[in-house]
Structure formats: C-alpha cells, structure tokens
Amino acid sequence: MSDERAVIAKRVDSGATADTSEITDLARSAGYEVVGELTQRRKEDAAFHFGEGKVEELAALVAETDASVVIVDNRLGPYQTYNIGGKLPEGVEVIDRFTLILEIFGQRAQTRKAQLQVELAELRYELPRAEAKASLAKRDERPGFMGLGEYDESRERDIKAQISNITDELDAIADKEETRREQRRESGFDLVALAGYTNAGKSTLLRQLAAELDVDENENRHPDLQRTAESEDRLFTTLGTTTRRAETGKRNVLLTDTVGFVSDLPHWLVESFQSTLDSVYRADLVLLVVDASESVEQMREKLVTCHDTLYQRNEAPIVTVLNKIDRVDPEELARKQDALTALAPNPVTVSGLTGENVDALRDRVEAELPDWREERLLLPMTDDTMSLVSWIHDHGHVETETYDDDHVTLAFEASPAVVEQARSKAERLTTSAGEEATEAQRERSAQTDEPAQTDGGPSA
C-alpha cells in the first residue's frame, strides 16, 4: 500500500455541499496520508475542471504540505488531468476518484475472478483515454501532443481485444457459479446476500450470523463454507465474495458477503463487477445493510443508490437492516426510521458489533425466504432407508419420524426442489423394495416346487 502524502480536492456545482468524508476514507483505505484538502463550488471548467485560480491555490497547498499526490473527488478527462498537473510542482501525480477506487480494488483482489474484474475496469477506464490520445495525435500529427504520451495506433485495438478476452473468461466463471448456485439449491440451501455501502458493517454482521465459527479451518467441511470475512474499519475489505453457512433456524442458509457500494460509481465500473453482483441479483433474499449512525440525508442517498442498482435486475425480496444501533440512542433511531419509511419499510435494527437484535434478524430471514413445501413419505424398511432418512434431515426440516416393523413415516418441510428429489428417491426405494420382495417370493416358490432330486443329489 502507498505511504504517500495526498491533498484532496473536490468541485461541486453552485449551491451544493462539498462533502469530502468518503474520498478521505477512500484515500486512507488506499494507504495515503491525507495532509490537506481544497473544495470549490462552481460549474465545471472545460480545461481545468476547477477554476484556473483555484488550481493555482491547489498548487500552493501541495507545495506547503509537501504532498506528492493530488486526489480529485471527481471524474477528470485526460486533458483536465494534464492541465492540472502542469500547474503543480514537478513530479506531483494527479488521480481522480475512479483511479483511486481502481487502485484500492487492485490492492484487495485475491481471487482470479476479482483480479479479472479489476483488470476489466482498468481497461474500460483507459480506453477513452487511449482513444483521445489517438484522436489528438492523428489530428495534429504530433506524437505525445499535450503530453498525453506517444501515439500507438495499435493500443486501442489491444485494449478492446483484452476487454473481449477478459469478458469471455468472466462469462465462463459466471456460468460455473450459476451451476454451483443451482446445485446449492438442489442440496436444500437458501441463498442470502448481504448488500449495502462499504463500511456499513456487512462483514461484522456476517460473523454474527455465521455458524461454526470455531471450527478448525483445516477440517473437511462443506465446500461452500469459507473463512469468515475480515471485520476491519476500512473500505473494500471484502472485494470478492465470502460465503458462510448461517445459523438462522430450521432453514439451511448460505450467506454471501459482497463488495460494498460506493456513491457515484460510473456504469462501466459497475458492469466490470457484474460477476460479483450476480451473487446479489440471483439470491433468494437480499439483506440491505445501512449504517444507522449516519445522518438521515446520508442514509436516504445511499438507500436510493442501492435501490437503483438492486431493483434493475434483482427479483428477490429485499430486507433493510439498520446496523450499528449501538451508536444511536433509541429516540434518534426511531426518528430516522420514521423519516425513511418510504425507502425502508419495516426494517430490522441490529448491532453487528454487540449482537443486539441479531436473533430478530434470524427470524426475519426465515420468514422472508421462499416458502417450503410440506411432505409426508411412507418408506419401506430396507438396507438403504436410513440413508434416505438422513438425507432428508440434512436437506429439510423433519417434523415427525415414526417407525414400525416394516415402514418409516416422515413428515417434513423442504424446498420444492428437495421435496421432488425426496419423492424420487422414495419411489426408487419403494420400487427396489418391491423388486426384492418379488425376487424373494420367487426363490421361496422355486424351493417349494423343485423336484425331490436334482442331478442325482440329495433332496432339498
């Protein structure tokens, strides 16, 4: 991680408020030491983004604080980046909001899928800049025009080819993950996703809900059970997805923690992480986690952004979880709930840190998941019957289990897929038992009807 000194700069339109809290957190999350900040309220300048006088003020602040990086909490065009850099002391780098986010993603990418998604986002970010370089170089016939670098006519084609190759590989990974999701459902698991803004406490909440936290990680366990996500007070601790079995009650639940949302993300960046977001879009239930200690305005803005992202493709029910209630007094929490009723009807209030109300969240998860079906099976007592009984216990919830000399009767609840599998297994078991009974009857009949002597041997 970087240990460089950075100055934060942000422009907002006239009348807006320049909030630098998130970009400061992002910068620190990337490892920068934030040593100063500068804001401006005015319309965007085509050449410098800021007003030229404000850029000169920025240069003075950089020199005063001995910063080596300027982080702009806006999206800069390639020309604006160059123009601002030309006003700053020599050697000072200018990066915008999305370059910073990609830098953090690159630091956190551990899996092949995460690394591919980061690379895809970087290429999509670079493509318009490469096109701009090419356009300027062609127009002015001067390689490196405006300091944008030497023109390489093949660079655009290379980027587009890389994007195509990475997209194909991510599609293949997505197909495998979709197959795995269906296998999980067929195995009786309900899939629940944790969504929400970064630092809302999703990973801490996962630790509260996850079962078997004390199990030796080297033991042979269900392949879906992974190490619990880190619970650190930094952004993007969870870049990929972390899936753990959750303890909610009678249902078998797999809970997935995903990368947190960040405000003002461009379409190309969200699309680059489509494979990760599929774990949210294709879940049976989404828990939308919100930091209850933030202001109503912040909570409302984040809820709107999350809803815009989730409701585009998500078909599962969404339950809003107001987390970190240990930081809010009850009266304030009640006022916030009232103010956000339209966006967050009937939320669950919890503290992932202390565990307060987590049991209520477990009950809500059970209540919101797709309905199970009730089934009753009469099974013949055979050598394979107990294997089927054990399978039903593992994949559903057995209400009653009774035995007599020849049969086992099971009354249970399970997902429709598991009920159909149980019926099929029971039918095969019954058929097999019937065939064995018929064969045994044939053998008895053969023994009764055979002649007194066979092949000169003694009688039976």
Residue 258 annotated as binding site: yes
- Whether 253 and 397 have beta carbons less than 8 Å apart is answered as no
Burial of 146 (0-12, 13-18, 19+ CB in 10 A): middle
Burial of 251 (0-12, 13-18, 19+ CB in 10 A): buried
Under the phi-then-psi rule, with left for phi > 0, alpha for psi from -120 to 50, and beta for the rest, what region is 265? beta
Residue 228 annotated as binding site: no
Residue 86 annotated as binding site: no
Report which of 65, 74, 70, 66 is spatially closest to residue 40, judged by C-alpha positions. Answer: 74
Residue 81 annotated as binding site: no
In DSSP terms, 71 is beta-bridged to 8, 95
Burial of 26 (0-12, 13-18, 19+ CB in 10 A): buried
Residue 46 annotated as binding site: no
Residue 457 annotated as binding site: no
Residue 87 annotated as binding site: no
How far apart CA 4 and CA 92 sit, in angstroms, is 11
- Whether 181 and 329 have beta carbons less than 8 Å apart is answered as no
Residue 164 annotated as binding site: no
How far apart CA 336 and CA 456 sit, in angstroms, is 98
Residue 278 annotated as binding site: no
Handedness of CA 388, 394, 400, 401 (dihedral sign): positive
Name the maximum alpha-carbon separation found in the chain: 120
Residue 396 annotated as binding site: no
Which regions of 127-206 does DSSP assign to beta strands (E)?
189-196
User: Number of C-alpha atoms within 13 angstroms, CB side, residue 312?
Assistant: 13
* Residues 433, 435, 441, 445, Cα dihedral to 10°: -170
Residue 200 annotated as binding site: yes
Residue 434 annotated as binding site: no
Residue 196 annotated as binding site: yes
Residue 359 annotated as binding site: no
* Type of residue numbered 458: P
Residue 167 annotated as binding site: no
Residue 390 annotated as binding site: no
Residue 95 annotated as binding site: no
How far apart CA 189 and CA 187 sit, in angstroms, is 6
Residue 353 annotated as binding site: yes
Binding annotation for Mg(2+) = 203, 238
Binding annotation = 196-203, 238, 257-260, 323-326, 351-353
Binding annotation for GTP = 196-203, 257-260, 323-326, 351-353
